[in-house]
Amino acid sequence: MTHRRTVLGGMLGLALAASTSGYALAQEAVKIGLILPMTGPFASTGKQIDAAVKLFLAREGAVHGGRKLEVILKDDAGNADATRRLAQELVVNDKVAVLAGFGLTPLAMATAQIATQAKVPEIVMAAATASITEASPYIVRTSFTLPQASEPMADWAAKNGIRKVFTVVTDYGPGIDAETSFAGRFKQAGGTVESVRVPLRNPDFAPFLQRVSEAKPDALFVFVPSGVGAQFMKQFVERGLDKAGVKLIGPGDVVDDDILEGIGDVALGTITTHHYSAAHDSPANKEFVAAFQKANAGMRPNFMAVGGYDGMKLVAKALEATKGDSSGDKLIAAMKGASWESVRGPVKIDPETRDIIQNIYVRKTQKVGSELHNVEFETIKDVKDPVKARK
């Protein structure tokens, strides 16, 4: 059985090697276990990343460091126990060399132990709580951390005459991360902050926004999981908060590129800090966006897609560095300190924390032609995750 598979794989590899590049070596494929929420409330994350991974294989080829990358997609529906079991099965039965995906913080956390036990790198492509990479020495992140995106917002707000901010965040790991890092930094800069946390399953924002409107702050800092963002924006405008002169600010999740068109004009003027916008002005990004939209019926790539694309890039780079050696320790060693030019700008994996170092952009939501886009107007270079940097 194994024998036949090797022969088959060899033949496939040969055919590919002959057709694509000069690699003559026909080794077994490197399997990547991609675990994503493809169903349930966070399915859009899974779809973006899945599409980006496919696009990577189509654009940059499947063979790297002499090995063919083979992706096995599994759906965990955003459910941590399922993630853990799938990861375990992928390691034990499918013998994957890399685990990747992880749409939400608890999903990444649940798998950390398996990564450590099996010495398999865990590439976090989406989840954004700062502490994730501390859970296992085998976790590497290619997305972002919320403090990384939120603290620059505090700096920008303090510099631009905003003194009093009200924060509204969703009451779970990333939300609390965003709130504490923003509030901490903003208070340091001499501002005042009032906070309220919204339960994760919350159909109506009215009562929370009413509190905001009574507090009359200069700006409203918001973090809600993308998807709920639209509802939040609409109610923000419906309450007339925009006309009352309250600026809407926050990390970029609330003006997610994937749903920005659906949110509509109410998003105009929102100031956000984030690591990626589909409108990022570089030739590489323009090509990427065009290719992504062509392959996915016009769906606009968002920051999740970029995390997925760069996650694959990182695996490919590591394999090239190890010359095809897919043992976990070698791969992790090669990933530490890896740097490349991503479509979001230059990125680097911090060798100490295995977290990503990248530019954070200050953006304003504007009309570009007939479409809504987050247009970048300020760049803060090479931002590390501030929580881990302070340690």
Partner 1 sequence: MRAETFESRVRQALHAGRRWHPAEIAFWCLAFAAFLLFPSQLLLLNEIAILALFALSLDLILGYAGIVSLGHAAFLGTGAYAAGLFAKHVGGDPLAGLAAGMAAAGLLGLVTSPLVLRGTDLTRLMITLGVALILYELANSLGWLTGGADGLQGVVMGPVLGLFDFDIFGRTAYLYSLCVLFTLFLVARRVVHSPFGLSLRAIRDNPLRASASGVPNARRLAAAYTIAATYAGAAGALLAQTTQFVSLDVLDFHRSADLMLVLIIGGAGYLYGGLIGAIAFKLLQDAIATFTPQYWMFWIGLFLVLFVLGGREIIHGGVKAVAGRLAGIGRGAAR
Partner 2 sequence: MLTILFDGIAYGMVLFVLGCGLSVTMGLMNFVNLAHGAFAMLGGYVAVQAMQRLGVPFLASLPLAFLAAALVGVVLERLIYRPMYGKSHLDQVMFSIGLVFMAVAGTDWLMGSTQQFMHLPPWLQGRFEVAGIGIGRYRLFVIAICGLLAVSLQWGFTRTRFGSRLRAAVDDARVARGLGIPVNRLFALTFALGCGLAGLGGALGIELMGLDPSFPLKFMIYFLIVVTVGGTSSITGPFFAAMLLGVADVIGKYLVPEIGAFIIYALMVVLLITRPHGLFARVRA
Return residues touching partner 1 (CB under 8 A): 38-39, 43, 73-75, 79-81, 84-85, 88-89, 91-93, 105-106, 109-110, 113-114, 117-118, 129, 135, 171-173, 176, 199-200
Residues 247 and 279: beta-carbon distance below 8 Å: no
- Tell me if 210 contacts partner 2 by CB under 8 A: yes
- 3-state SS class at 383: strand
DSSP characters over 136-202: -TTEEESS--HHHHHHHHHHHHHHTT--EEEEEEESSHHHHHHHHHHHHHHHHTT-EEEEEEE-SS-
With binding defined as CB under 8 A, does residue 47 bind partner 2? yes
Q: Is 202 in the site for partner 2 (CB under 8 A)?
A: yes
Is the CB of 53 or the CB of 249 nearer to partner 1? 53
The residue within the footprint of partner 2, chosen from 220, 228, 315, 349 (CB under 8 A), is 228
Is there binding between residue 88 and partner 2 (CB under 8 A)? no
Nearer to partner 1, 174 or 191 (CB): 174
Stretch that binds partner 2, among 126-134, 198-206, 312-320, 347-355 (CB under 8 A): 198-206
Q: Hey, is 102 helix, strand or coil?
A: coil
If residue 227 lies in a helix (H) or strand (E), which one and from where to where?
none
C-beta of residue 359 within 8 angstroms of C-beta of residue 344: yes
Q: Which does 283 bind (CB under 5 to 8 A by kind): partner 1, partner 2, none?
A: none
Residue 41 contact, options partner 1, partner 2, none, Cβ 5-8 Å cut-off depending on partner type: partner 2
Stretch that binds partner 2, among 25-33, 174-182, 238-246, 279-287 (CB under 8 A): 238-246
Considering CB distances under 5 to 8 angstroms, the limit depending on partner class, which of partner 1, partner 2, none binds residue 91?
partner 1
Among residues 8, 59, 117, 204, the one that binds partner 2 under rule CB under 8 A:
204
Q: What is the DSSP letter of 22?
A: S
- Least distance (Å) from partner 2 to the CB of residue 326? 33
In Å, what is the CA distance from 173 to each residue of 102, 124, 180, 224, 332? Answer: 15, 16, 11, 11, 26
Among 116, 231, 293, 366, binds partner 2 (CB under 8 A): 231
| 221 CA to centre of own chain | 20
Tell which positions 294-313 bind partner 2, by CB under 8 A: none
19-40 b/e (C-beta count within 10 Å ≥ 16 → b): eeeebeebbbbbbbbbbbbbee
Where are the extended beta strands (E) located within the chain? Answer: 30-36, 63-64, 67-75, 98-101, 122-124, 139-141, 164-170, 192-198, 219-223, 247-251, 271-274, 339-342, 345-349, 356-368, 371-383
* Nearer Cβ to partner 2 (122/253): 253
Q: What is the spatial distance between Cα 278 and Cα 286, in angstroms, rounded to a whole number?
A: 8
Residue 84: contacted member of partner 2, partner 1, none (CB under 5 to 8 Å, by partner type)? partner 1
Which does residue 335 bind out of partner 2, partner 1, none, counting CB within 5 to 8 angstroms by kind? none
Query: Minimum CB separation from partner 2 for residue 46, in Å?
Result: 9
CA distance 361 to 251: 10
* Residue 43 in the binding site for partner 2 (CB under 8 A): yes
Strands 219-223 and 164-170: parallel
Residues near partner 2 (CB under 8 A): 39-41, 43-44, 47, 196-199, 201-204, 206-208, 210-211, 213, 227-228, 230-231, 234, 237-240, 243, 258-259, 262-264
